[in-house]
A and B are shown apart, each in its own frame.
Chain A
Amino acid sequence: MPKAFKVARVMLSVYYAYMVEYRAELVFWVLSGTFPLILMGLWVEAAQGDRFDLTPTELVQYFLAVFLVRQFTVVWVIWEFEREVVEGRLSPYLLQPIDPVWRHFFSHVSERFARLPFAILLVGLFLLLYPYAAWLPSLGNLVLGLLAIVLAFCLRFLMQYTFALAAFWTERASALEQFWFLLYTFLSGMVAPLALFPDAVRAVVLWTPFPYLIYFPASLLINRPENVAQGFMAMILWLALFWGLNRWLWRQGLKQYSGMGA
């Protein structure tokens, strides 16, 4: 166990140093996640007439929370893994006494810390624009919300890494992710809170992993928790499912792997 801690600590500090080296790039990544903020404008304007179930204030809070959750759960492992497999750079990593995935995992985690200040700055900016919407989550919701964010990140990372393993068989594994990302964009609550979906659609969507990646943590953060226990259960189930699939694909994939120079 101490060894695991040591590995984690070293990797975190190494990748953190690496990430802050390219601060400008990081700022641009934060700024490129403005999609929820654009939709916030649309929904706030739409909700002025009391036609929807949420008030403009709640919508501002919701989309700011979505923006934050999204910042914490950005994942890009498939693009890097795909290149590693196609170019054969995976081979040296396989020789090391640690699963290559941890390298990616910790680079994602440490990037979160480097990204945090900019993301918070942007949220502050929007609170200046909508001062009446400023809010604080209650302690219980904050703790649960943070836990949900951590799980959401793990789930999203695991799902994308599972798709990335398709790179052992095809050169365009990222197409899978592109398709999945579409579903994620439109069903996770990024375009609108699930409360505004038609009932039938919402009932179906709740069976998919998507709402738990954005909507569930975001609604905890704005003190509108819904079916908390059920939400966490769903996340854990999906995590277990993808974990199993992932390990199986990894073993099959290694047999298949014949990257450059392997």
Chain B
Amino acid sequence: MRRYWRVLGLFWGTAIAAELEYRLNFIVTALISLGGLVGSLFGLFLFYRTGYQFEGWNWEAALLVLGLFTVLQGFSTTILIPNLNKIVTQVQQGTLDFVLLKPISSQFWLSTRVISPWGLPDVLFGLAMIGYAGRRLGLGWADYGLALLPLTFGAITLYSLWFMLGATSIWFVKIYNVTEVLRGLLEAGRFPIAAYPVAYRVFFTFVVPVAFLTTVPAQTMRGEGSGWWLLASALLAVVLLVLANQFWRFALRFYTSASS
């Protein structure tokens, strides 16, 4: 375990050092994520401006969901996209061989090799939005603390799904955009699940578990989520994480390396 922490420190230290060469980039990404934020606020405002509201979610509560979504978006820009979207390249060029030869878990290597600080603006803006909405709703530190639990589960769920999709590239080499499908569907997480028609709700709870990524944490934060949702979200995270690992081991059996 200690070894893994040390390796992680080295991975991220070098990655950040490399990325900091592009400092102007930081301003650019911050501007883009600010623009995205304004746009999403505008989109949400279009629903609320006539007095309509998502069932059981007033403006501030909907902002919580949007804030959580933005934080998760930052998380995926920081960790998921730079690592998991590269699995395809590794398979394509056969460089996965070198990863497999290393004396640490290949899943660990593939999932944590680099970190990109460019997701940071999203995380910060998301947190600011949660803070603003939370104050209007009168939330306390205990509420935020409690919501950290389902949010972590949500992040694990997201990682596991993403990783499994990335792992399918062992079979179908040229499908680097399969994660784009997932990303497109995840957009649904900008809004509380109650805002959708029944068919959508079923789909986004049981097929693509978007509800567990943003709605459940927001519910917990507002003190409305029952323990069952929390339990379900924990169960989902654990099951998917184990599944991702098993799936990777299974997939590796079919890895034949490039040019062999």
Q: Is the CB of A45 within 8 A of B195?
A: yes
Q: A34-B185, A196-B46 are in contact. Are A28 and B174 (CB under 8 A)?
A: no
Query: Complex formed: what's the CA distance from A182 to B40 in Å?
Result: 10
Complex interface: chain A residues within 8 A of B197 (CB): 41, 44-45
Q: Does A129 belong to the interface (CB within 8 Å)?
A: yes
Is the CB–CB distance between A191 and B46 below 8 Å? yes
Given A29-B177, A31-B181, A33-B184, residue A46 in contact with residue B200 (CB < 8 A) = no
| Residue A38 CB within 8 A of the other chain | yes
By beta carbon, the residue of chain A nearest B53 is A46
Residue B187 interfacial (CB < 8 Å)? yes
Please determine whether B177 and A42 come into contact, CB atoms closer than 8 angstroms. Answer: no
B162 within 8 A of A: no
Tell whether, in the assembled complex, residue A172 and residue B185 are in contact, meaning their CB atoms are under 8 Å apart.
no
Query: Are A186 and B172 touching (Cβ within 8 A)?
Result: no
Asked whether B207 is an interface residue with its Cβ less than 8 Å from the other chain, the reply is no
Assess the A172–B28 pair: CB atoms within 8 A. Answer: yes
Q: Please indicate the chain B residues that have their CB under 8 angstroms from the CB of A192 in the complex.
A: 43, 46
Whether B196 contacts A28 by the Cβ 8 Å rule is no
Q: How far is the CA of A129 from the CA of B225 in the complex (A)?
A: 30
Distance of A198 Cα from B42 Cα, bound (Å): 11
Q: Whose C-beta in chain A lies nearest to the C-beta of B31? A: A179
Q: Give the interface centre of A25, A29, A41, A51 by most chain B CB atoms within 10 Å.
A: A41
The CA of A29 and the CA of B181, in the complex, are separated in Å by 7
Instruction: Say whether A34 contacts B184, CB under 8 Å.
Output: yes
Q: Bound complex: CA of A23 vs CA of B34, how far in Å?
A: 36
Q: Is A241 an interface residue (CB 8 A)?
A: no
Minimum CB distance partner of B46 in chain A: A192
- In the complex, the answer to whether A24 meets B46 with C-beta atoms within 8 Å is no
- Judged by a CB distance under 8 angstroms, whether B39 is at the interface is yes
Residue-wise, chain A 167-207 has the 8 Å CB interface mask toward B (1 for contact) of 00000100100110011011000011000111000000000
Cβ–Cβ contact B196 & A42, under 8 A: yes
Q: Which A residue's beta carbon lies closest to that of B36?
A: A182
Contact partner of B187 (CB less than 8 A), chosen from A29, A38, A51, is A38
A32 near B181: Cβ-Cβ < 8 Å:
yes
CB closest residue in chain B, given A21 = B174
Report which A residues bind B (CB closer than 8 A).
22, 24-25, 28-29, 31-35, 38, 41-42, 44-46, 49, 51-52, 129, 172, 175, 178-179, 182-183, 185-186, 191-192, 196-198
